[in-house]
Amino acid sequence: MTETKNRKGQIFVLSGPSGAGKGTVRKRLFQEMPMLKYSISCTTRQPRPGEIDGTDYRFIDETQFRSFIGEGAFLEWADVHGHLYGTLFSDVERECSAGYDVVLEIDVQGAMQVRNRCNRCILVFLSPPSIEALEQRLRLRGTESEESMRVRLRNANYEMNHASGYDYLVINDSVEEAVRRIREIILSERNRYASSACLQGR
């Protein structure tokens, strides 16, 4: 018998400011929990070094993105740092129906949209230890101009001020500890879960 039989998947939203370590934590989490599925977001921004189309994001142009908006194809979408990001409703619905729990790595705007459309979702906010630690991480990454850095730090303050609206707050002071904590959250929420559809109809 497979773990997915006779159950509907849940949605777990992982948010946090740029540089908080969401991607690193999420990848480590998936190594430990094979029953999770990652929902690949669409974005209009250009790939960063090492990012792969169809693996990290679906990199599309703004015309196609806005066409998806017009079709009502997105579960959530947002303008973040001047670029558009969105999660396709069909991707999440397919995996939930197959019994998998789906992780969305999205921003605060998108998380609130998912909460409004989802019967059963858990919001987890991943925070850096401090705004100073976040700035240091961003500078070490070496991918941002000074102007971009200012925008990201300003947005980080905004996002961290909204962490209280999430179900869980996890401080990423140690990747291992953050992964352990989120794994505990997922297992605990699975035990509490009742088998109802995780998405409301469009």
Q: What is the pLDDT along the chain (202 residues), one digit of tens a residue?
A: 345 456 789 999 999 988 888 989 999 999 999 889 999 999 999 998 999 999 989 999 999 999 999 999 999 998 887 899 999 999 999 999 999 999 999 989 899 999 999 878 999 999 998 888 888 878 877 667 788 778 878 888 889 999 999 999 999 999 999 999 999 999 999 888 654 456 654 4
Please give the model's pTM, rounded to 2 decimal places. 0.83
Q: Is residue 196 packed enough to be buried (19+ CB in 10 Å), middle (13-18) or exposed (0-12)?
A: exposed
Q: CA-CA distances (angstroms) from residue 194 to 8, 54, 181, 184?
A: 9, 32, 22, 18
CB 19 within 8 A of CB 134: yes
Structure letter (DSSP) for residue 164: G
Question: Beta-strand (E) ranges in the chain?
Answer: 11-15, 36-38, 42-43, 58-59, 74-80, 83-88, 101-105, 121-127, 168-171
Domains of the chain, CATH where assigned:
11-39+100-192 (3.40.50.300)
- 6 residue type, one letter: N
Q: What angle do CA 136, 157, 166 make, to 5 degrees?
A: 110
- Which pLDDT does position 195 carry in this prediction? 46
Q: What angle do CA 65, 68, 73 make, to 5 degrees?
A: 135
- Which pLDDT does position 198 carry in this prediction? 62
Whose structure tokens read 């992780």?
A: 103
Q: Are strands 83-88 and 42-43 parallel, antiparallel or unpaired?
A: antiparallel
